[in-house]
């Protein structure tokens, strides 16, 4: 079953007087349960495409359907709701909150959008769940550490734990190993792979062919289109 389908996506950016056409008719299907890698040279539009797939950004033209629903035909509130419920993002530079410990960072998506009263009643189960997820990414002994007390690979595993806290159907990772050495990169890929084996649909963007090779399927973005 197709979970997400991008059809004829176009996106350009204007910088002063020059217009840069980044996506020029991207068609892409992501199947439920697969681990898909999108590759391509630096600056070819991989991040742009990933952001549009996850409704973080809108295309100039074209559609993205998610679980059969046309995301950009839906209203903003609906799109935000789908993104918050169904999409988890992991970025190259982790984007953790430095003042909060590992457990608090992972709890953040649960706390956001929960009233104080609801939070008080669901706090215990949320903490248990965050602890369990942190166990699966190999960080059960780091709950009270701050991000700066962790290695790059550990920080990225916190970011993955945070991204899956709300059990998204769709996990999008933008160069998740881009800032890591080979050994830590392997740890991240192992972590994504084991989530995928439990059924998580993953789209991963990378310029690194060795990383892309580890996915179930690879597609390449060239000249604003997915290579046939
Ligand atoms: N917000 C923006 N404003 C203007 N240009 C942008 C913006 N975001 C990306 N670009 C440009 O679009 C192109 C594709 O960027 P990006 O999607 O980040 O590529 P990749 O992730 O493949 O390296 C690049 O030339 C980049 O400079
Ligand atoms: Mg990028």
> Does residue 68 fall inside a structural domain?
no
* pTM confidence score: 0.93
**Is ligand 1 within 6 A of the CB of residue 53?**
no
Ligand 1, atom nearest to 221 Cα: 22
> Does residue 204 fall inside a structural domain?
yes
Q: Tokens 């690194």, residue?
A: 208
Q: What is the spatial distance between Cα 88 and Cα 224, in angstroms, rounded to a whole number?
A: 25
> Does residue 209 fall inside a structural domain?
yes
- Name the closest ligand to CA 40: 1
CB atoms inside a 10 Å sphere around CB 62: 18
Ligand 1, atom nearest to 50 Cα: 17
DSSP H or E run through 85: helix 76-86
> Does residue 148 fall inside a structural domain?
yes
For residue 143, the enclosing domain spans 34-55+87-226
> Does residue 75 fall inside a structural domain?
no
Structure tokens at 26: 């991207």
> Does residue 164 fall inside a structural domain?
yes
- If one counts the domains in the chain, the total is 1
* Minimal-distance CA residue to ligand 1 atom 17: 45
Q: Please list the pLDDT of the chain residue by residue as tens digits (228 residues).
A: 999 999 999 999 998 899 999 999 999 999 999 999 999 999 999 999 999 999 999 999 999 999 999 999 989 999 999 998 999 999 999 999 999 999 999 999 888 878 889 988 999 999 999 999 999 999 999 999 999 999 999 999 999 999 999 889 999 999 999 998 888 899 899 999 999 999 999 999 999 999 999 999 999 999 999 998
Q: What's the CATH code of the domain at 133?
A: 3.40.50.300
| Helices 182-197, 152-164: inter-axial angle, 10-degree rounding | 20
Compute the distance from residue 208 Cα to the ligand 2 centre, in Å: 12
């Amino acid at each position: 079953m197709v979970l997400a389908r991008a059809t004829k996506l176009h996106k350009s950016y204007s910088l002063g007087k020059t217009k840069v056409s980044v996506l020029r008719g991207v068609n892409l299907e992501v199947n439920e349960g697969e681990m898909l890698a999108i590759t391509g040279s630096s600056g070819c539009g991989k991040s742009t495409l990933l952001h549009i797939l996850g409704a973080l950004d809108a295309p100039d033209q074209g559609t993205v359907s998610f679980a059969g629903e046309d995301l950009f035909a839906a209203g903003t509130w609906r799109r935000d709701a789908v993104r918050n419920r169904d999409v988890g993002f992991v970025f190259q530079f982790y984007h953790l909150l430095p003042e909060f410990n590992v457990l608090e960072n992972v709890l953040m998506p649960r706390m956001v959008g929960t009233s104080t009263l609801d939070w008080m009643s669901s706090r215990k189960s949320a903490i248990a769940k965050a602890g369990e997820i942190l166990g699966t990414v190999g960080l059960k002994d780091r709950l009270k550490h701050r991000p700066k007390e962790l290695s790059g690979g550990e920080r990225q595993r916190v970011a993955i734990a945070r991204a899956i806290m709300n059990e998204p159907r769709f996990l999008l990772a933008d160069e998740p190993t881009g800032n890591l050495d080979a050994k830590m990169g392997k740890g991240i890929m192992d972590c994504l792979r084991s989530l995928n084996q439990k059924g998580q649909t993953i789209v991963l963007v990378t310029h690194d062919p060795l990383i892309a090779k580890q996915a179930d399927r690879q597609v390449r973005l060239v000249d604003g289109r997915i290579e046939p």
